Amino acid sequence: MTGSDLFFGLVVLFLIGAASSVVLNKKDRICSYISFISAAIASLLGIIFSFSVILGNNFVFNVSGTFLNFGFFVDKLSAFFILIISITAFAVSIYSTGYVKEYFGKKNIGYLCFLYNIFILSMVLVVSANNALMFLIVWEMMSIISYFLVVYEHEKPETRKAGFIYIVMTHIGTGFILLSFLILASGSASFSFETFRAGVLTMPPLLRDAAFLFALIGFGTKAGIVPLHIWLPYAHPEAPSNVSALMSGVMIKTAIYMLIRVSFDFLGASVLWWGVLLLIIASASALLGVMYALMEHDIKRLLAFHSVENIGIILIGVSVSMIFMSTGHPELAAFGLIAALYHTMNHAIFKSLLFMGAGSLIFSTHTKNIEEMGGLLKKMPWTGMFFLIGSIAISALPPLNGFVSEWLTFHAQLLSINLSDNITKIIVLSSGAALALTSALAAACFVKAFGISFLALPRSEHARNASEAPGSMLFGMGILSLLCIALGVLSFYFLPVLDSIASPLSGASVLPKVAFDLSLAALSPQAGSISTIWIFLLLFVFVPVPFLLSLALGGRTKARTYETWGCGQPVCTARNEYTATGFSKPIRMWGSGIYRPHREIQTSYAGSPFFKERFTFDTQIEPIFEKYFYEPITRLAFFVSRILKVIQTGSIHIYLLYIFITLVIALIYVGVGG
């Protein structure tokens, strides 16, 4: 099959999946199977298509006419993001066939399946568009479809609130994207992306700066960088979990794709302060994202804040690469971009896995609060194993994939010693310290998430009655779990692919210097190297040793089963266990200047002040971004609206007068210009 056959084949299959959802709307089971299987097959075609471009030639398709002009262009960068979308969508589609059973007889399954297929298709088209107008159309389609998916359970007030915040923020972002494209188009007199590259060469520096800043705000809003991340912890928890996996795993990556496209491909990453600004924002996003995740007990909000963190880590690699490009170090820039692209792939895999794991927990326990879980590893062993793999990967522990991409990112930051500007060097190295702290806090967060959810005793009736997720859900999680291992252990096999994507953007190839034999190496010989495959093999050698010794030395001893020791208490119950609140309290105290926590303690007495009947403790943190950033902006917007309200008289004659005055001003402006 040719590239055209594969591309249009996947488009048709997604449309078939959407159309079948409408036709079979009343038959929940058949509708879900046909729709999600169509999406899975389309995703397989997307995987094959993306590899055909990465390993072969670019794909170009244009339609030109008097009233119609649009095109698709897929180079290695676009194909890489199609690969990410397709791999994740394939696993999530299989998972969804079991997950949506929760909605049978309760919600409109055909509606969900229709939106699901169009949503994935829109993401593929976003990273394939080769025209600003076409891009904005499919970008808006992706935003609107994802909004309807977020508010799928619209009967809940919190879901409607999340949808409102999301749709407002995404359209603010789209407005800034439009401004950036208008500036880029002004230099080329065309909306084609190909002409943007040539038009930038003659554009004044001030306009180039404005185009970058508007793109950063517009795409940064969709990506979820601080302080534009406010929609993300609202929207992701309220969407169905299979949709959350796609939104967090791949939708926000479309913004990363366009930031790279605009910064490197269109603007050439030629200005130093662009990279420095992005690095500061990225470091703040990574650190604040994980700090807020540590305070969450809603497992999906916890994962949503980790998306903010990991977007920050990805953009650290992008920004360091921009700094190296602007200072004349193309090889170092290529290394930083490889780190960013690898973490983009890795985050899509392990974050989608974790959201699917969270969906399985909610499917079985009917609660998102990890304080009401506990003891689930015995009841859901496969889900627990897959969630543990995702937790290890996101915590950047060797030898899984998250470790490799963060290791590369650390080395990209350390390579800043080659910079001549000391201030920039200090900023980059300081961001390395922020990344190190971020990684440590991420590990602590997932010790809490996994430990409180899966270990010890059940904390509620929901947890006591839980059972393992259906096989299709486990199969979808298993695919991504294997990829977490493969992308870590066999990372040296993927570096040639990443180098072939980064080298056209940076102008240099670094493959011979960063991959040899079975190891990964930094560009500097003094920085050393690491082999994840040897770490993996050593784990297989040393981990079984204690078990073998215990069998050899203690095999003759009679085993006794007894309850966990409870500090001398005769009966151990869930009340003796560590809570998520207690686990995160040291971090809350350490970061009190950021969290601004406040607590409420309520005590009721049994007839005497000396006998306490009930003791209730509640602690909350202050939403500083909402309170000190968005609330003042909202008040200002309402104030301006009240002032402008005077022109809204309700009289058709006044409105016609406004139109007449506007036309006169426009004619005078054109006449003076002529």
Contacts of 130 (CB under 8 A, 6+ apart): 60, 62, 71, 72, 73, 192, 193, 194
Among candidates 163, 246, 206, which has minimal Cα distance to 480? 246
3-17, 207-221, 410-424, 594-608: segment of lowest average pLDDT: 594-608
Peptide bond into 227 cis (omega under 30): yes
Q: Residues 409, 335: contact at Cβ < 8 Å?
A: no
Q: Exposure of 292 by Cβ count < 10 A (0-12 exposed, 13-18 middle, 19+ buried)?
A: buried
Specify the pLDDT at position 673: 57
486 falls in which pLDDT band (50, 70, 90)?
very high
Average pLDDT of the residues in 619-623: 79
- The three-state secondary structure class of 603 is strand
Q: What is the pLDDT of residues 188-230, one digit of tens each?
A: 778 888 888 888 888 899 999 999 999 999 999 999 999 999 9
Contacts of 427 (CB under 8 A, 6+ apart): 276, 279, 280
Write down the mean pLDDT value for the chain.
Answer: 88
Nearest-angstrom CA–CA distance, 22 and 245 = 24
Nearest-angstrom CA–CA distance, 72 and 128 = 5
Average pLDDT of the residues in 618-629: 81
pLDDT above 90 covers a percentage of the chain that reads 58
2 falls in which pLDDT band (50, 70, 90)?
confident
Specify the pLDDT at position 89: 96
Specify the pLDDT at position 552: 74
Q: Residues 147, 167: contact at Cβ < 8 Å?
A: yes
Nearest-angstrom CA–CA distance, 539 and 545 = 10
Q: Above 70 in pLDDT, residue 398?
A: yes
Nearest-angstrom CA–CA distance, 192 and 642 = 41
Q: Above 70 in pLDDT, residue 117?
A: yes
523 falls in which pLDDT band (50, 70, 90)?
low
Q: What is the pLDDT of residues 223-260, one digit of tens each?
A: 999 999 999 999 988 999 999 999 999 999 999 999 99
- DSSP string for 297-340: -BHHHHHHHHHHHHHHHHHHHHHHHHHHHHTT-HHHHHHHHHHH
Q: What is the pLDDT of residues 158-188, one digit of tens each?
A: 999 999 999 999 999 999 999 999 999 888 7
Average pLDDT of the residues in 287-296: 92
Q: Above 60 in pLDDT, residue 516?
A: no
Q: What is the pLDDT of residues 403-421, one digit of tens each?
A: 999 999 998 998 888 888 8
Compare 606 and 58 and report the one with higher pLDDT: 58
517 falls in which pLDDT band (50, 70, 90)?
low
Average pLDDT of the residues in 307-322: 95
119-128, 455-464, 481-490, 562-571: segment of lowest average pLDDT: 562-571
Q: Of 151-160, 615-624, 647-656, which has the strongest mean pLDDT?
A: 151-160
Compare 524 and 577 and report the one with higher pLDDT: 577
